[in-house]
Amino acid sequence: MGTPYLGKLKSTDPLYEILLSRVCPGVKDPSFLVSRTSSRRVYKYTEEKSGAVVIGKFFRPDDPQQEKVMRQKREFDNLVKIRGYGFDAPPCYVVRPLTREESIGLALAEEFIPGKSLDHALWKAIFHGKAELLKERLSSLALFFHLLHGKTERRMRVDLDPVQKYFRAVIDTLHAQRVIPQSDRERFFRLMDIWLSRESMQKAKRVTVHGDATPTNFIFRGEGEVAAIDLERMRESDRAYDVSMICGELKHAFLWRTGNPHAAEHFIRYFVTAYCCHFGDPAGAFREITLRNPFYMALTELRISRNGYLGGSYRKRLAAEALECLRGGLALV
């Protein structure tokens, strides 16, 4: 689906001079075509003569959700920081930030990366039998995460307080949306307490995580090349947070499109194995990730369940899958 065309950027718009100086300073009288993306307050700017393409992300200074505004403002710095670790060129890299201008609500202007997202590979695997394409993409993504987590690992143990706060917020939202009843709300909280008290959760080391590892946030170009976008939720956490989010997204993608709760299992195991194979002790790494995976995978299924476009019955089913994931995972030792 193409992005809706909105017209040309006026030369009197303050953004025009910003794009002129940072994107195509050598172009005389540039003309920027403006399109709206699928995300709110995110626009695509295409300069007609040079073909240069830029994504602009904007924030509302008066937005009542100031925590969200602060995340948006931090993305520029997050990208600069991660590119400083060597993620500034293929095969594993993050999108290049160009500029920001808070005075006009521009949180970030960044390069546009053409390519296909992980969601495209999921679609091909589910509806066209392209399992090998999906595996290839998952292998590339596993390497990206291994490099990101490895280069940013700290000796300090993970802080689970933000995880608990986020888990509670997601459950409260689902309860308010009537996706889960009060009885399940209490069950989720009890299971959360058990999980967060486990030694396997508490002893995990801090690493920098992408924090929003959804299929549309990873772009693939050519063999083995993957670029990450949307790093506004980047932070320090457990490496399993990223790995398990992909696992949860795989579970959802196959369950939603096929109705089969087991259809993604092969690919989930493949991805975790691909991630762990880069460690000195792959089997040991697999055991450690597997011990923590059910919790973060369930959290991913719950956060997906908040989306109204999925339909009430499916959202309840996905939340029920998350509950069983939490319960079943406690049997792992």
Cα distance between the two ends of the chain: 46
- The tokens for 186 are 């209490």
- Cα-atom radius of gyration of the chain, to the nearest Å? 21
- Nearest residue to 217 via CA among 151, 316, 148, 292: 148
For residue 167, what is the enclosing H or E element?
helix 161-176
More confident residue, 49 or 313: 313
- Does 312 lie in the same domain as 170? yes
User: Residues 47-103: pLDDT tens digits?
Assistant: 999 999 999 999 988 887 888 889 999 999 999 999 999 999 999 999 999 999 999
Residue-level pLDDT at 211: 97
Domain containing residue 13 = 5-111
Question: Strand ranges (DSSP E) for the chain?
Answer: 5-8, 32-36, 42-47, 53-58, 92-94, 97-101, 106-111, 116-117, 206-209, 218-220, 226-228, 235-238
Q: What is the DSSP code (8-state) at residue 116?
A: E
Q: 49 φ, ψ to 5°?
A: -75, -45
Which one of 90, 111, 132 terminates a domain? 111
Helix (H, G, I), strand (E, B) or coil at 56: strand
Cα diameter, the chain: 66
- Does 165 lie in the same domain as 95? no
- Does 316 lie in the same domain as 186? yes
For residue 70, what is the enclosing H or E element?
helix 66-83
Percent of the chain scored above 70 by pLDDT?
A: 99
Which one of 111, 133, 155 terminates a domain? 111
**What's the structural domain count of the chain?**
2
CATH of the domain at 50: 3.30.200
Is the pLDDT at 38 greater than 70, yes or no? yes
The position carrying tokens 């626009």 is: 43
Question: Are the C-beta atoms of 71 and 205 separated by less than 8 Å?
Answer: no
- Does 92 lie in the same domain as 32? yes
pTM of the model: 0.95
Average pLDDT over residues 122-128: 98
Average pLDDT over residues 171-176: 98
Average pLDDT over residues 258-262: 96
Is the pLDDT at 297 greater than 80, yes or no? yes
- Does 217 lie in the same domain as 68? no
**Confidence band for 24, pLDDT divided at 50, 70 and 90:** confident
CA dihedral 14, 15, 21, 24 (to 10 degrees): -140
Question: Are the C-beta atoms of 107 and 68 separated by less than 8 Å?
Answer: no
- Nearest residue to 144 via CA among 217, 72, 232, 237: 217
User: Strand 106-111 vs strand 53-58: parallel, antiparallel, or unpaired?
Assistant: antiparallel
Is the pLDDT at 1 greater than 70, yes or no? no
User: Residues 187-226: pLDDT tens digits?
Assistant: 999 999 999 999 999 999 999 999 999 999 999 998 899 9
Residue-level pLDDT at 26: 83
Question: Are the C-beta atoms of 87 and 94 separated by less than 8 Å?
Answer: yes
- Does 293 lie in the same domain as 173? yes
Q: What count of residues does the chain have? A: 333
Is the pLDDT at 25 greater than 90, yes or no? no
Which one of 53, 87, 111 terminates a domain? 111
Residue-level pLDDT at 2: 62
CATH of the domain at 264: 3.90.1200.10
